[in-house]
Amino acid sequence: KAGVTQTPRYLIKTRGQQVTLSCSPISGHRSVSWYQQTPGQGLQFLFEYFSETQRNKGNFPGRFSGRQFSNSRSEMNVSTLELGDSALYLCASSLVKASGAETQYFGPGTRLLVL
Amino acid sequence: LAKTTQPISMDSYEGQEVNITCSHNNIATNDYITWYQQFPSQGPRFIIQGYKTKVTNEVASLFIPADRKSSTLSLPRVSLSDTAVYYCLVGPSGGSYIPTFGRGTSLIVHP
C-alpha cells in the first residue's frame, strides 16, 4: 500500500498570505490528523477528521482550519500567516485494529517558511 | 489525558542494547502505549504498540509492567542509523482524544 502523501513538500509564503496544504491518507484509513512541529514547541496536535467531520481539535487559533473530503483526503488551511507559523506540518492517517488499538501513520510533512 | 515523561536524551554505542523508559502514571484502562521514531525533517514512524506485558516485533521490544504506569522500549544491537528522536504516546483508540507527544528522547548512537 502507498503511504501517506503530502503536497507540497516545501512552501515559502509571506506574512498575511494564506496557505492550503493537502494530505492523502493510506487507502482504507478514514481518520486524518494534522500536527505542527517546531523546534520550540515540539510536535503539537492541530485537529483530526473522521468521515468528513472534525472529531478532535487542539489548542490553535481559528486561523488554522481543515476539512476532509468523501475520499478521506484532507486539506488544512492557515490564513493570515504569521512568522511563527513557520514549521513542519505533518499529516497522519490512522486505522483502528480489531483489537481496538489505533496506530497513526505519518506523511513526510510540508515544510512551511513564512517570511 | 495521560501525561508522559521520558529522558530528554540518551547516548549509546553501536552494537549495544538501548532501553528507553516512559512514565505514564495516570494511564487509563482503555489506553494503549505506542512508540514512534523520528528522523530530522521526516514524519514519525511507528515502531511498536502494546497494552500490557511484552510485545516484540522485528525491530524492537516493548515491556509493560502489570501496573502499566511505565513502559520500556528496547532496541537490540543499535546501529548509527538508530540515531533519532523516540516518542512515547499513550491514548485510547478513536473518540475524543488529543494526542500529546511530549518532547521525546533524543538517542545518539556513537561508532
Q: What is the pLDDT of residue B93?
A: 60
Residue A2 has pLDDT above 60, yes or no: yes
Tell the residue number behind the cell numbers 486505522, with chain if given.
A95
Query: Count of A–B CB contacts within 8 Å?
Result: 67
Q: How far is A80 from chain B (nearest CA, A)?
A: 25
Identify the residue whose cell numbers are 556513537.
B110
Contact B63, B88 (CB under 8 A): no
State the cell numbers at A71: 475520499
Say yes or no to pLDDT of B110 above 90: yes
Question: Which of A97, A105, A111 is nearest residue B41 as measured by Cβ atoms?
Answer: A111
- Segment among A1-10, A71-80, B14-23, B75-84 with least mean pLDDT: A1-10
Q: Which pLDDT tens digit goes with each residue over B69-92?
A: 999 999 999 999 999 999 999 987
Residues in chain B with CB shorter than 8 Å from the CB of A3 are none
**Residue B111 to chain A, least CA–CA distance (Å):** 27
pLDDT at B1 over 70: no
For a pLDDT cut of 70, what percent of chain B falls above it?
A: 95
The whole-angstrom separation of Cα A112 and Cα B104 is 22
Q: Indicate if the pLDDT at residue B2 is higher than 70.
A: no
Confidence of residue B96 (pLDDT cuts 50, 70, 90): low
Give the pLDDT confidence score for residue B94 in this predicted structure.
Answer: 57
Residue length of chain A: 115
Distance, CA of B60 to CA of B111 (rounded, Å): 20
Largest Cα–Cα distance of chain A, in whole Å? 46
Give the largest CA-CA distance in chain B: 44
> Which of B42, B45, B93 comes nearest A96 by C-beta?
B93
Q: Which residues contact A79 (CB under 8 A, 6 or more apart)?
A: A18, A63, A65
pLDDT of residue B37 exceeding 90, the answer is yes
User: Given this model, what pLDDT does residue B95 score?
Assistant: 60
Dist CA B16 CA B72 (whole Å) = 16
Distances (CA, A) of B9 to B22, B58, B87, B90, B95: 12, 24, 11, 20, 32
Nearest by CB to residue B103, choosing from A42, A97, A102, is A42
For A56-110, how does the pLDDT look when each residue is reduced to its tens digit (9 = 90+)?
899 999 999 999 999 999 999 999 999 999 999 999 999 877 777 788 999 999 9
